[in-house]
Copies of this chain bind each other. A is one copy, B any other.
Amino acid sequence: MDRKHIEEKIEYLRRLSTGGLHMTDFLLTWEKTDEEIAAVFTVAEILRGLRRNNLSARFFDSGLAISIFRDNSTRTRFSFASAANFLGLAVQDLDEGKSQIAHGETVRETAAMVSFMADVIGIRDDMYIGRGNAYMREVAAAVQQGHDAGILEQRPTLVNLQCDIDHPTQSMSDMLHLIHRFGGIENLRGKKIVMSWAYSPSYGKPLSVPQGIVGLMTRFGMDVVLAYPPGYEIMPDVEEVAVKNAQASGGTFRKINNMREAFTDADVVYPKSWAPFAAMEKRTSLYGEGDMEGIKALEKELLAQNAAFHDWECTEDLMKKTRDDRALYMHCLPADITGVSCREGEVAAFVFDRYRDRLYAQAGHKPYIVAAMIFLARFADPAVKLIHRLHEGRMRIW
């Protein structure tokens, strides 16, 4: 991407209405307008362009980006760290294990205590249905309150790094991958994407990826198919979002209980295991009651349920059903690869290997998506800042 190309992107950005992103959190993609979504993609591309031209995106001379990971994560952690560093922020991890939070501190108090010099807070909390997004909103309310009361000089921006409902940095990276594949956001219209359940020997995988995908991909006129065995329903609220989005965008949203049928003539397939929403709700209740026996029983039940659908695997044979035999295969990684990471899994090794480089490229959008979300939340005049940086020519590496 040469400078002329970057300038065009900035000019495009300038015409988008992005004020709604300024000083707000990024928690669910469906809380943002189409222009705002497009702005995130555009800024992500511009930031990548700057970096490719060895230009610095250090817009912060100092500042903290707090990360709160309530679940393990390598990729998302590095995406967040990369984005923060590229913008000039230092990551400070809030390790609840090490901290005094476990000792009865309220969310409100901790949120204030850590945020005196924080510009950004990234949270991953996807373990319990009904909890993750709620926790983020609690933190958001706390820092807002702190700012309103004059306690926090700045109100840090929250970025959802995966919750129980949505995984916006993932779904946005995925869509940017599709934009690259099809040559523009306008070319997504009419393309068929299949978000399909797939078998995994583990259980309880988060719903945030399939929910994030159907909640976002339905917005730009795609034909979105959600395929899963009976019983693997996602959260009804998100289905509703998908239905409304499809109506508004002129796309479609369908559910289907047959993987083969779903794959037929698909342009994009995204086969991935997830846990049934109802079971995850039950797990949260059991966890709340401290019923460890109940949780163990549920696990056993879920594994047995999974096993009944071990033929839900993305095989070469299935891929041949797709449009011209060559749909784009997607995954948020890591995948359960048959014969590699497990005996039977989500995808055949042959299929996975063929798409490996593209899967990595798909993941490579995430740091820029995160950086774009932060950038658009912190700067009222993003296009002005970016064009200035482009012309100023401050280098990333001297």
Contact B117 A85 (CB under 8 A): yes
In the complex, chain B residues whose CB is within 8 Å of the CB of A364: 116, 151-152
> With A101-B74, A334-B104 in contact, do A82 and B396 touch (Cβ < 8 Å)?
no
> With A334-B109, A363-B113 in contact, do A61 and B56 touch (Cβ < 8 Å)?
yes
Contact B61 A105 (CB under 8 A): no
Partner of A113, one of B61, B100, B360, B385: B360
Partner of A81, one of B60, B92, B153: B92
Contact A100 B72 (CB under 8 A): yes
| Cα–Cα distance between A98 and B101 once the two chains are bound (Å) | 19
Q: Which residues of A58-72 are within 8 A (CB) of B?
A: 58-64, 72
Contact B334 A63 (CB under 8 A): no
> With A63-B85, A72-B100, A73-B100 in contact, do A334 and B105 touch (Cβ < 8 Å)?
yes
Q: Does A150 contact B (CB under 8 A)?
A: yes
Distance of A206 from chain B, by nearest CB (Å) = 13
Contact A85 B90 (CB under 8 A): yes
Interface SS majority for chain A: mixed
Interface size of A by CB at 8 A reads 71
| Cα–Cα distance between A398 and B388 once the two chains are bound (Å) | 10
Distance of A366 from chain B, by nearest CB (Å) = 8
In the complex, chain B residues whose CB is within 8 Å of the CB of A87: 62
Q: Does A326 contact B (CB under 8 A)?
A: no
| Cα–Cα distance between A194 and B351 once the two chains are bound (Å) | 56
In the complex, chain B residues whose CB is within 8 Å of the CB of A48: 153
Mask: chain A, 218-249; 1 = CB below 8 Å from B; 0 = not? 00000000000000000000000000000000
Residue numbers of A with Cβ under 8 A of B are 48, 51-52, 56-64, 72-75, 77-79, 81-82, 85-88, 90-92, 94, 98-101, 103-106, 109-110, 112-114, 116-119, 146, 149-153, 333-334, 340-342, 357, 360-361, 363-364, 366-367, 378, 385, 394-398
